[in-house]
Amino acid sequence: MQDDDAKDKDPRDRRRSYRFPDSRRVYFRILRPLIGEGFTQNMSEDGCCILLSEELPLGTIIELLISEPEDDAKQYKILGKVVWQTNFLTGIEFLPAGTESAESA
Residue 11 resides in a domain: no
If one compares 33 and 56, the residue with the highest pLDDT of the two is 56
Q: Considering the domain boundaries, does residue 56 fall inside one?
A: yes
52 in a structural domain: yes
Q: What does the pLDDT average to over 24-31?
A: 78
38 domain residue, yes or no: yes
pLDDT at 2 over 60: no
- Residue 59 sits in a domain whose CATH number is 2.40.10.220
Q: Is residue 33 one of the residues assigned to a domain?
A: yes
CA distances 75 to 16, 34, 65, 91, 96, Å, are: 25, 20, 6, 20, 18
pLDDT at 79 (0 to 100): 92
Domain tally, the chain? 1
86, part of any domain: yes
pLDDT at residue number 86 = 93
In this predicted model, what pLDDT tens digit does every residue of 50-103 receive, in sequence order? 999 888 889 988 889 888 888 888 888 899 999 999 988 999 999 987 665 544
Please check whether residue 74 lies inside any domain of the structure.
yes
Residue 1 lies in a domain: no
